[in-house]
Structure formats: C-alpha cells, structure tokens
Amino acid sequence: MTPAGPLSEAVVLVTRPRDQAEALTDSLQQAGARVIELPTLDIEPLEIGPRQRALVLDLDQYAHVICVSPNAARLGLEVLADYWPQWPVQQQWAAVGPATGAAMSGWGLNLKVAQQGATSETLLDWPELQHLTGQRVLILRGDGGRETLAETLRRRGARVDYLELYRRIKPSADVTPLLQALQQQGLILTVTSGDGLRNLMAMVGEAVAQLQQCPLVVVSARLAQFAREQGFLDVWQANSPAASDMIQAITAIQQRE
C-alpha cells in the first residue's frame, strides 16, 4: 500500500531506463505517489571495433576526456581500464553533471564535475577549455549525440574525437498501465530526453492526444521547447534531473491543481 505523503494524490509516469529509475521511483513512493514505470529507452552497448580501439590506445594523446552521461562514463571507463591499468598523467577528465561524476568516482581520475543541472554547453565556460590550439579532446558519449560541444571546441583549436559506446533503442514494454491511467485524472509525466519523449509518443499510439494533455516534467529548457513543439500543452521544467528537483516540480503541479 502506498504510504500517505505530500504526493498521495499523484500518479507519476517514470520513463527513465530501468537502471537509472530507482532513485526517482523510490523518492516518489516515499512522498506517497503512485508510480508507473515505463522505460522509453534501453541502453545497448556498442561493439568496440578497430576504429574505437585505436582511440582507446591513443588515450595518452588527449589533454581532456569528457563524459557526457552516466552510461558513457560507466561503459567508457570499463573499456579504457582494460587497456590502461594506470591512467595517463596530466590529463583532465570532465563530467557533465553530478550523476556522471558519481559514475566516474573511485577510478583515480583527475576529475572536474559540472554542477547540478549542467549541460554539455556548460563546460564551454570553463577556463581550461577556452584556448585549445594543438590539444586533443576525447568525448565519451552514445551514438548520435548533439554536436554543439565538439563544434565549439574545434573552433577553439582542438582536435576532437568521439568514442561512442552505446545506442538508445525503444524497448518492448507493456503500456497497458499507462493507457489505463490516461483514462483518469491526475497523471503526471516525467521525461529526461528527446529520444525518450519520441518513443513515449510512439508507444501509446492513438492515445497520443490524451498524453499531450497531461502535465509533463522535463529537465532542460531545450527539452521543454522540444516538448511544446510536439504538442504538449502543460510543460514544467525541473531545475535538474535529480530526484529532489523532479519532485519539487511535481509538487508544484499538485499544489496548482
């Protein structure tokens, strides 16, 4: 039985991949919410082929190594550690956000972590990334990520390479609990990526118009704009993907209603 709490009247859809949903789901349930878990993304590791292996073997040639997600950090460090039992000296590692930084902790890296709510572009304000002539930068990411970070670093003189470690795929999932909840009042959606939102819309099929009527909590201004372009009418931006910030936005929706 769901305990009483400040969100005891709320029904919240959590769409994060299963291995990333636990903190938010647990926090919501502790606040009294009924949670529907429906991962709209699965993370599929990519095979490390000859081109990727060459980048790994060149690790000591990079002045900066940037991880843009927890998945990139986890998968990338496991691959790199197989080839580098000792990390190259005088190499700066960077994490986009505390969750990525947490995935990189304990590896003995010279690590700098962007603050809560950061995006890849946040790193572009760092003093050490302003003048990069003659320096190489390695970005660990998923397949087909955004290009702004690399393009800007190249304009500043860097030679930038990608080590792509995973792809995001649409999972097979039972959407019946979500479709049932859409027939009732009070459902709040949470989405943390554009790919996840696209997949969610595809997964509900003909019920997409009902989905677009629900309050939607997102984690960035860019994602909020994308959601509005997709027809969502009631979009709320949390301060960050952290469970506490997501719950703060959900609470604001409940208090409004």
The model's pLDDT over 129-183, given as tens digits with 9 standing for 90+, comes to 999 999 999 999 999 877 889 999 999 999 999 999 999 888 988 999 999 999 9
- Architecture field, domain 11-41+171-256: 3-Layer(aba) Sandwich (3.40)
- Architecture field, domain 45-168: 3-Layer(aba) Sandwich (3.40)
Sequence ranges of the domains in the chain: 11-41+171-256, 45-168
pTM of the model: 0.81
The model's pLDDT over 95-139, given as tens digits with 9 standing for 90+, comes to 998 889 999 999 999 999 988 666 777 889 999 999 999 999 999
Amino acid identity, residue 169? I
* pLDDT higher than 50, residue 1: no
Q: Are the folds of 11-41+171-256 and 45-168 the same? A: yes
When pLDDT is averaged across residues 4-17 and rounded to a whole number, the result is: 87
